Amino acid sequence: MYFHDIIGHEALKAELISSVQMGIIHHAQLFVGRDGEGALGLAYAYARYLNCTQRGETDACGHCPSCKRYDTFAEQDLFHLFPIVNASGKNLAEDTLPEWRSFLAQGPYVRYDEWLSLLGGDGKKASIFAREGEALQQSLSYQMAGTGYRIVLIWLPEKMQEALGNKLLKLVEEPPARTIILMVTMEEEAVLGTLRSRMQTLRLQPLAPQVIEEALHHIPQGTDGVEATLAAHLSEGNYRVALDSYLGRSEEHLSQERYLQRILRATVNAQPTEMKLLAEELATTSRDEQLALITYLARMFREFYLFNLDLPKLNYLTSKETSIASYLRSCITGQNVRVVESELDLARRHIAQNVNSKMVFFDLLLRLTSALAPSYRQQGIR
């Protein structure tokens, strides 16, 4: 991973490069970015640049011995700490280095769930265990293999056991000569406060939709599914989210589209038996999926309302969603959209509070049917 592999964040990359060129390098730095946003890739590109023996003005050279070792994630003076799942014979991060290197090889926009999948620990809790402290201390006691910087790269310090965090305080305060500590977090506030206060913090900001859209246009395997403009708009500035949508890998979105059609069909048919069966099916999904679906429904009703106002610059719909909006034209009004949003918000709160989801969805379908019925009759849909 190089700086040029990271989309956007030009000011942050320039700051890191300048610090190296000027020789003003903070010995402990905390990279903050959302899941899949590229913070890990940026930290790795920075570590590579620090040790490149033929640095360019904007990136590492890619062909010096150090860069070659970084290409295979096998630099001897690069130490990794990351969450693992307790498993027989694999009690330290170094025991899972083959999996870790495979993970890093996927590129700068890897996600935490992909790491868990590689570990075979889906649904399990992963941690950076306190026992890592002794192993790290022993590794740092050895003489450096090269003449550059020794890097300690810690991914997700918020998953570090507190005992280890306390052990690392001295290392963060007074690391050995030419040793740099780079931590990468998705949850800044969850990192031990005493560690945070001793590190320079670098935060990745959400990317502008135009930056993401331009990057997506250069993806050769793009599909005719979700357009780049829509994917960029809905990504909330996270390139990985946009990339998954653009490449058609977002099975969750496709599932939500199908449920949207069925929910609207149920409100048009107004048959309690149909609603009951649909509510029972929705109740079998996970709570996170249920909350995500309700959030999606709320966004869709707002988009349908804007569609009726003929404001194309404010509308972001897939082709399938556009066809639904066309069918419902004039059915979603300023009056009933407020009622719908209120009902969806109530359902969201009930799901979050662990209310019986079958009852929540059945009640939601009845209430949506009641709110939309007058418009359906007026437009001749029912």
* Long-range contacts of 216-225, Cβ-Cβ distance < 8 Å, separation of 24 or more: 216/242, 216/243, 216/246, 219/243, 219/246, 219/247, 221/247, 222/246, 222/247, 223/247, 223/248, 225/318
Question: If pLDDT is split at 50, 70 and 90, which confidence band does 91 have?
Answer: confident
Both 97 and 225 in one domain: the answer is: no
Residue 150: helix, strand or coil by DSSP? Answer: strand
For residue 57, give Cα distances in angstroms to 3, 81, 208: 11, 30, 25
Mean pLDDT of all residues in 113-128: 80
Q: Considering its fold, how many domains does the chain have in total?
A: 3
Type of residue found at 280:
E
Both 68 and 158 in one domain: the answer is: yes
pLDDT tens-digit profile of 174-223? 888 899 999 999 999 999 999 999 999 999 999 999 999 889 888 876 55
Average pLDDT, the chain: 89
Mean pLDDT of all residues in 302-315: 78
Calpha distance 61→202 (Å, rounded):
24
* Residue 19 tokens, joined: 């610090």
Q: Which residue has the tokens 């993970």?
A: 103
Both 325 and 223 in one domain: the answer is: no
Both 261 and 310 in one domain: the answer is: yes
Residue 325: is its pLDDT beyond 60?
A: yes
Both 234 and 185 in one domain: the answer is: no
For residue 197, give Cα distances in angstroms to 46, 64, 169: 21, 36, 10
Residue numbers of the domain that contains 363: 252-378
Contact 157, 13 (CB under 8 A): no
Contact 196, 211 (CB under 8 A): no
Percentage of residues in the chain with pLDDT exceeding 90? 62
Calpha distance 129→132 (Å, rounded):
6
In 3D, which of 170, 171, 203, 208 has the Cα closest to residue 185? 203
Both 149 and 132 in one domain: the answer is: yes
pLDDT tens-digit profile of 262-284? 999 999 999 999 999 999 999 99
Contact 37, 109 (CB under 8 A): yes
Taking the alpha carbons of 89, 91, 92, 97 in that order, is the dihedral positive or negative? positive
Beta strands of 82-195 (E only): which ranges?
150-155, 179-185
Both 259 and 359 in one domain: the answer is: yes
Return the minimum-mean-pLDDT range out of 138-142, 150-154, 248-252.
Answer: 248-252
Question: If pLDDT is split at 50, 70 and 90, which confidence band does 142 have?
Answer: confident
CATH number at residue 286: 1.20.272.10
Both 242 and 179 in one domain: the answer is: no
Question: If pLDDT is split at 50, 70 and 90, which confidence band does 323 have?
Answer: confident
Q: Which residues sit opposite 181 in a β-bridge?
A: 28, 152
Both 275 and 240 in one domain: the answer is: no
Calpha distance 357→30 (Å, rounded):
40
Both 260 and 235 in one domain: the answer is: no
Both 232 and 127 in one domain: the answer is: no
Final residue of a structural domain among 168, 203, 238 = 203
Both 240 and 147 in one domain: the answer is: no
The pLDDT score that the predictor gives to residue 225 is: 46
Residue 107: helix, strand or coil by DSSP? Answer: coil
Return the minimum-mean-pLDDT range out of 165-169, 252-256, 272-276.
Answer: 252-256
In 3D, which of 14, 42, 60 has the Cα closest to residue 204? 42
CATH number at residue 57: 3.40.50.300
Residue 55: is its pLDDT beyond 90?
A: yes
